[in-house]
């Protein structure tokens, strides 16, 4: 069944190798001038979409990202990897600080309906908030089946056979299309966005929209009270024998003397 259309969600996050710093006023983390890149799990999602297109399972890939202007960098990378079109849903920096998975899920669900896509795919979670909610919420809003933590996807007739990574090991399920899936680490190794493709991507359509275009209200539903660094881990001490351990535990009042 050719001609399937796929929508990929991509998030711009602080690069995983950068050391995070809390702002002096404790309202959040420093993002100004800090190196950002596409969420690694979203890269895997884009790669899977491109592979499906190369296998002719999918005929068109639309990439979407919600956030301030710089999100366009992430969309250009997706286009360079093989996406056909991109939609940037612009949210100003202040509102973005309080943008929640539910807001993003509503936007993606609306786009999925408008674009009449058959598959929605995102990374399983973003490395900044580790929420692991957006994909699942999109499925619920659309009332579509979901296959999360996918580590292998095969297409069989009108269905997807998905191998999922779960606590106990691997679970294989079948989901009818249209469906939502979220990508896990072992799904694939993303290709590099090479320079010729980056240059070609500049010519691919990138449309700018706002949440109101999709009828989604992104007013903050929560207030961030405080952001703090985790407490500095106290150094441990090496003990010479079991007897010493017992003495120390007694001194600390952790075992009865």
Name the residues that contact other proteins, by CB under 8 A. Answer: 15-19, 21, 24, 32-35, 37, 189-192, 194-196, 198-199
Decide whether 35 or 55 has the Cβ nearer to other proteins: 35
Decide whether 35 or 116 has the Cβ nearer to other proteins: 35
The answer to whether residues 128 and 13 touch, using CB atoms and an 8 Å cutoff, is yes
CB of 233 to other proteins, least distance (A): 12
CB of 227 to other proteins, least distance (A): 16
Rounded to whole angstroms, how far apart are CA atoms 210 and 135? Answer: 20
The answer to whether residues 152 and 187 touch, using CB atoms and an 8 Å cutoff, is yes
CB of 190 to other proteins, least distance (A): 8
Query: Alpha helices of 185-229 — where are they, by DSSP H?
Result: 195-201
| Alpha-carbon distance values, 72 to 17, 97, 232, 235 (Å) | 21, 18, 37, 44
SS3 content of the chain, % helix, strand, coil (to 5): 30, 30, 40
Specify the residue for token string 């980056």: 198
Decide whether 5 or 191 has the Cβ nearer to other proteins: 191
Kindly provide the residue ranges of all beta strands, DSSP E only, lying in the chain, ordered along the sequence: 4-9, 12-14, 36-38, 58-67, 85-90, 119-123, 146-156, 159-166, 169-176, 179-183, 206-209
- 67: helix, coil or strand? strand
The answer to whether residues 112 and 143 touch, using CB atoms and an 8 Å cutoff, is no
Q: At 20, list the tokens.
A: 């995070």
CB of 228 to other proteins, least distance (A): 14
CB of 40 to other proteins, least distance (A): 12
Decide whether 93 or 166 has the Cβ nearer to other proteins: 93
CB of 54 to other proteins, least distance (A): 13
């Amino acid at each position: 069944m050719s001609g399937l259309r796929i929508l990929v969600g991509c998030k711009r996050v602080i690069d995983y190798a950068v050391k995070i710093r809390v702002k002096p006023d404790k309202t959040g983390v420093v993002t100004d001038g800090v190196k950002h890149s596409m969420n690694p799990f979203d890269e895997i999602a884009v790669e899977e979409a491109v592979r499906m297109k190369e296998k002719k399972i999918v005929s068109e890939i639309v990439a979407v990202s919600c956030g301030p202007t710089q999100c366009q960098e992430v969309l250009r990378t997706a286009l360079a990897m093989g996406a056909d079109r991109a939609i940037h849903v612009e949210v100003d920096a202040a509102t973005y600080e309080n943008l929640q998975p539910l807001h993003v899920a509503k936007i993606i669900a609306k786009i999925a309906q408008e674009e009449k896509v058959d598959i929605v795919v995102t990374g399983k979670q973003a490395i900044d908030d580790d929420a692991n909610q957006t994909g699942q919420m999109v499925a619920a809003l659309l009332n579509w089946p979901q296959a999360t933590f996918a580590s292998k996807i095969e297409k069989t007739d009108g269905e997807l056979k998905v191998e999922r990574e779960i606590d106990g090991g691997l679970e294989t399920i079948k989901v009818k299309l249209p469906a939502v899936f979220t990508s896990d680490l072992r799904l694939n190794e993303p290709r590099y966005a090479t320079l010729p493709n980056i240059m070609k991507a500049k010519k691919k359509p990138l449309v700018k929209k706002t949440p109101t275009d999709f009828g989604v209200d992104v007013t903050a539903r929560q207030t961030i009270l405080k952001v703090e660094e985790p407490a500095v881990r106290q150094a441990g001490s090496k003990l010479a024998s079991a007897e010493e351990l017992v003495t120390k535990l007694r001194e600390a009042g952790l075992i009865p003397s």
